[in-house]
Amino acid sequence: MFKPTVGPIVGHTTTHQTRLFLRGTPRKNISVFAGIRYRRAGEVCWLNSIFAKLEPVRDGCEVIALNELSADTEYEYQAGWFSPAGPMHTVETAQQLPLQWPQDLYRFRTPSNTTTKPRAYIVGSCRYLRMTGGMPVLPHRSDRIFASIMQQVHHAQPPVSAVLMTGDQVYVDDLNIVAPDRELNDIFSKYRAAFSQPNISQLMSSVPTYMILDDHEIEDNWPANKSNKDDYLYTNAMTAYEIYQASHSPIPELLDNGRVSSTLNRYWYQFTEGDIEWFVTDSRTRRNLSTADRRILDQAQEIALCEWLINSSARVKFVVTSVMFYPDKKIQGDDAWKAFPEQRLRLLETIRQHRIKNVIFVSGDVHGSLTSRLTHSEDPDFEVHTVVSSPLSNSKLLPYANAASFILDQPLARTAEGEYRHALTGAVISQDNFAHLVVDAGQIRVSYHDHEGKLLQQTDIPLR
C-alpha cells in the first residue's frame, strides 16, 4: 500500500463517529482501492479495517466513516491506497489480499460527552498558496503557520476539539488576470497542492477540521463579478469544493457500508459539542443580488438559522459566516453583510426579541483580525460578539486590513426602537495569524497568534 497523496483528513467527529478523507492516485482502466484500519491508542490489535474503491471522477478521493467509537478516547489509525494486480477485484476481494500498510501512524481523539466540559477551537481563513505552471511557489510560506498551530494543539488545555477554516482555503483565481484556471483538473491540482503540504497535512490528520467556502474557491467577489461565461468555471469549482472540502463535513448522509454519500443538496451545516453548537452558513453560493429581495443567505437557510437560534438549548452559539457580519468595511464592503442590511437586521432583531444570549459570529475574509461587541441603545439585555480571524497566509499583492479600514463611528443599524452600536474590544491585527478560542464556564478567551506561534493579543468575552 502507498501513503495517501492527499490526507488523511479527520473531518466531522462526534463521540461515536469520525469521517476520514484520503486520496490515492487514480489510474485509467485499473481499479484503485483505499483502506483505513484503526484501534484505541496503545492497543496491539486493530479493531477494524474498512476499504473503498477510488474513482477517477472524484480525483481518486473518498471519505470513510469509522463508527461505534467511544467518547473521549484517543484512536490511532493507518491509511493507504493500492492497485491489485487483477482487474476484477471488488472492495470485498481486495481487502482479503495480503497488504503491507504504510508505516505512518495517525491519531485523533473523540470529544467528551460531559456537557459542560471546557472546549477549545482553532479558527483561521485565507490561506494563499500561489501556483505557477501547476506548481506551488514558495509553499513553505503558506504552510509555516500550521506548524505553529500544531504546537498550540500539542500544548493546549483544554485539548483543541476542532479547527474551523472559514473560507479561502484555496485560491482558484490566484492568477486570474494572467492565466485563469477554469478546467477541473487544474482546480484539482490546486487542492492537491494546498492540502498536501507537510504542516497542514499533519494538522488535518489529527484534529477534526471543518471547512466552508468563500469567494476565492470560485472567483473574487463571486457572484457579483460573474460573467456569462462563468457557468463552466462555477460547475468545476464546486465539483472540486464538494470533493475536497464538503465531503468530510456533517452534510453527507452516512451509508450502511461505512461510506458517506457523494450527493449534497446544500453547503451549510451544524454540529454540536456538549453545550456548544455551531451553525456554519453558506454566505457565498446562495446569494440573491436582485433589488427586490437581496439575500446573502437563501430563504431556507435563513429560516433554519433563525429556528436554530430560537430553539437551540446550547449555552454558546457560534455562527460562522465566511464574510464579515460586522463591522462594515469602508471600501469593498459590499461583498459582505454590509450589502444585505435588511437580512442582517432580521437576524439581529430575532436575537434581540427572543432574548438569545451568547451568540458569537465567526468570520474571516478581510485579511485582518479583530473582536467586536454589538449592543442596542434601548435594550441593555442585548449583546452579541464577533470574532474575525484572517489571514493564515497573505499574498504580498494583497493589503492587510487595519482599524482605519472599518466604519466604527456610526451605528450598524437603526430602527424605530433604537440603534445597534458596535465597538472593537481589541486592536485590529494586521499580519498573518490564527485564533485560539477557549470556552469555559464563564467566558470565551480569544487568543491571536502569529505564524511563529507568538501571542499577539488576548480578549475575554464574558458569557451571560
Residues 262 and 368 in one domain: yes
Q: pLDDT at position 137, please?
A: 86
Verify that 193 and 313 share a domain, yes or no.
Answer: yes
Instruction: Name the pLDDT band for 177 (thresholds 50, 70, 90).
Output: low
d(CA 355, CA 371): 22
Residue 231 and residue 104 in one domain: no
β strands within 321-449, DSSP E: 359-363, 370-376, 379-388, 413-415, 418-424, 434-439, 443-449
| Confidence band, pLDDT 50/70/90 cuts, at residue 256 | confident
Measured distance CA(73)–CA(328) in Å, rounded: 43
Residue 308: the pLDDT is 98
The grid cell for 294 is: 437581496
Domain range enclosing 8: 1-113
CATH number of the domain at 81, please: 2.60.40.10
Using alpha carbons only, give the angle 68, 69, 74 rounded to the nearest 5 degrees. 170
In angstroms, the CA 173 to CA 188 distance is 13
Least confident piece of the model among 8-17, 177-186, 285-294 = 177-186
Q: Which pLDDT does position 260 carry in this prediction?
A: 86
Q: Is the pLDDT of residue 96 over 60?
A: yes
**For the chain, how many structural domains are there in total?**
2
The number of angstroms, rounded, from the C-alpha of 179 to the middle of its chain's C-alpha atoms is 27
Residues 215, 169, 374, 403, CA torsion sign: negative
Q: What whole-number distance in Å separates Cα of residue 156 and Cα of residue 150?
A: 10
**How does DSSP classify residue 191?**
H
* 228 & 363 share domain: yes
Do residues 105 and 129 both lie within one domain?
Answer: no
Q: What's the whole-number mean pLDDT along residues 182-209?
A: 96
pLDDT, tens digit (0-9, with 9 covering 90-100), for 218-255? 999 999 989 888 999 999 999 999 999 999 999 999 88
- Per-residue pLDDT tens over the stretch 120-136: 999 999 999 988 777 88
Q: What is the average pLDDT score of the chain? A: 94
* Same domain for 286 and 400: yes
**Quick one: angle between helices 231-244 and 184-195, nearest 10?**
30
Question: Which domain CATH number covers 157?
Answer: 3.60.21.70
Q: What pLDDT sits at residue 333? A: 82
CA distance 383 to 351: 9
User: Beta 119-124 vs 160-165: how paired, if at all?
Assistant: parallel
Confidence of residue 28 (pLDDT cuts 50, 70, 90): confident
Domain boundary among 63, 86, 113: 113
Residue after which a domain boundary falls, among 75, 90, 113: 113
For 93-107, 127-141, 189-203, which range has the lowest pLDDT when averaged over its residues? Answer: 127-141
The strand order across the sheet containing 160-165 reads 209-211, 160-165, 119-124, 434-439, 443-449, 455-462
User: What per-residue confidence (pLDDT) applies to 135?
Assistant: 82
Q: Read off the C-alpha cell for 352.
A: 434581540
Taking the C-alpha atoms of residue 449 and residue 17, their distance in angstroms, rounded to an integer, is 31
- Whole-model pTM: value is 0.96
* 378, 451: one domain: yes
